[in-house]
Amino acid sequence: MPRSDWLPLHGLDGLLLLSGLDGFLPYGRGSLMLDVVFVTMFVIVPLLMVSVLLVKYRRNYRLHKALQLTMASILLVAVVLFEIDIRVNGWEQRAEPSPYFDLANKWSCLAGRALIVHLSFAVPTLLLWIVVVVQALRKFSRPPTPGPHSQWHARWGTLAAIGMILTGVTGWIFYWLAFVATKAN
Helix (H) or strand (E) run with residue 15 in it = strand 15-16
Q: Which is nearer to ligand HEM, 84 or 123 (CB)?
A: 123
**At its nearest, how many Å lie between ligand HEM and the CB of residue 58?**
11
Q: For ligand HEM, give the closer residue by CB, 4 or 158.
A: 158
CB atoms within 10 A of CB 185: 4
Nearer to ligand HEM, 62 or 106 (CB): 62
- Which positions lie near ligand HEM, rule CB under 6 A? 52, 55-56, 61, 64-65, 68-69, 129, 132-133, 136-137, 140, 144-146, 150, 153-154, 157-158, 160-161
Pairwise CA distance, residues 124 & 166, whole Å? 11
Sequence-separated (6 or more) residues with CB below 8 Å from residue 144: 61, 62, 64, 65, 136
- Least separation in angstroms between residue 56's CB and ligand HEM is 4
Task: Kindly state the smallest distance separating residue 57's Cβ from ligand HEM, in Å.
Answer: 9
Nearer to ligand HEM, 42 or 152 (CB): 152
CA angle 120, 156, 143 (to 5 degrees): 130
> At closest approach, how far in Å is the CB of 143 from ligand HEM?
9
Sequence-distant (≥ 6) Cβ neighbours of residue 171 within 8 angstroms: 37, 38, 41, 118, 122
Nearer to ligand HEM (CB atom), residue 115 or residue 122: 122
Report how far apart, in Å, the C-alpha atoms of 115 and of each of 3, 42, 73, 85 are: 23, 18, 24, 16
Residue 119 Cβ vs ligand HEM, minimum distance, rounded to whole Å = 19
Contact 119, 127 (CB under 8 A): no
